[in-house]
Amino acid sequence: MLVDPFKRKISYIRISVTDRCDFRCTYCMSEEMQFLPKKDLLSLEELERLSKVFIELGVKKIRITGGEPLVRKNILQLFNSVGKKIDDGLEELTVTTNGSQLEHYAKDLFKNGVRRINISLDTLDKNKFKLITRIGDFNKVIKGINAAKEVGMKIKINTVALKGINDNEILSLVNWCGENKFGLTFIEVMPMGEIGEKRANQYMPLTDVKNLIQTKYSLTDDLLKTGGPARYVHCHETDQKIGFITPHTHNFCETCNRVRITCTGEMYMCLGQEDKVDLKEPLRKSENNDLLKEKIYEAISKKPKGHDFVIERKKEEKFVPRHMSVTGG
């Protein structure tokens, strides 16, 4: 079992399989994003081995992320291998995606054990969608969402609240997700990586989002715990759970049970801190997993108490230098 210095059990890992994405969302990356050379990435076999070692060490939930994880060549190989560990140490295998490839992959993901999926969608307006993603295809995403729904996946929509962009769609998103029986989580903009514009201009605190929802809907606190950072409310009129991920207005560090592995094999113990441990070296140095396990234990012993994201309009903007696409969303 993995336990950090603050007695938090680490039972959840998020593994980024690529930093590449077929969108260029304005709050996530610059339009002319430079991606890592493919040779720098862990191989699928290394990702499989790493996943299975974490399962041996007590991890119960694995989320595959990116970038856009479904653009990684032969990615189903990883889902097939790790999916076989469900009910053999692993309780859940899931994925976060922008939905662009889901029409093609939904059936195979379900076949390999994925029962819940998070889909990033910030607007229901085609024109805004193009504005936010720069190169995304809204219709393709909707087809992907429908494909996931048809095979029986539970769907949660992740929406980044963007001031002046989608703040007038908050109620529409609540209604649409309610009608489709989708979960919905709102997220504050996170200061990670250079994006070519000030995030303070995008930032909308989720206290404002919640207040807006309450102008039309009745909300009560929900005690749901998913192993993630969201705090949930129950929306009575739509009978749905709505989550709020608030790294600025109310961080989620006290219950943190997760670490993140980048596509290059670096393990970050905290999303908002730069402390990391290289797992690629022990992976490639020995076929025996003892050295790898030693490095993992070393990393967990360094897990900080929390992050300190700050977005200030009047001061020079500070951000974590790595992009979210490298660490994994």
Mean predicted confidence (pLDDT) in 222-232: 77
Identify the band that residue 41 occupies on the pLDDT scale cut at 50, 70 and 90.
very high
pLDDT digits (tens, 9 = 90+) for 159-217: 999 999 999 999 999 999 999 999 999 999 876 445 456 556 778 999 999 999 999 99
pLDDT digits (tens, 9 = 90+) for 234-275: 999 999 999 999 876 555 566 788 999 999 999 998 876 778
Domains in the chain, start-ordered, CATH in brackets? 12-327 (3.20.20.70)
Does the pLDDT value for residue 316 go beyond 80? no
Identify the band that residue 313 occupies on the pLDDT scale cut at 50, 70 and 90.
very low
What is the residue whose two structure tokens read 């009047």?
314
pTM: predicted TM-score of the whole model, two decimal places: 0.89
Does the pLDDT value for residue 294 go beyond 90? yes
Task: Let me know if 289 is exposed, middle or buried by CB neighbors in 10 A (0-12, 13-18, 19+).
Answer: middle
Rounded Cα distance between 277 and 285, Å, is: 15
pLDDT in the model for residue 229: 77
Rounded Cα distance between 18 and 327, Å, is: 9
In DSSP notation, 157-171 reads EEEE-BTTTTTTSHH
Rg (CA), the chain: 19
First to last CA, the chain: 24
Give the contacts of 39 (CB within 8 A, at least 6 positions apart): none
pLDDT digits (tens, 9 = 90+) for 106-128: 999 999 999 999 999 999 999 99
User: Of 156, 185, 174, which is closest to residue 217 (Cα–Cα)?
Assistant: 174
pLDDT in the model for residue 130: 97
pLDDT in the model for residue 152: 98
For 259-287, b/e burial (b = at least 16 CB within 10 A) is bbbbbbbbbbbbbbbeebbebbebbeeee
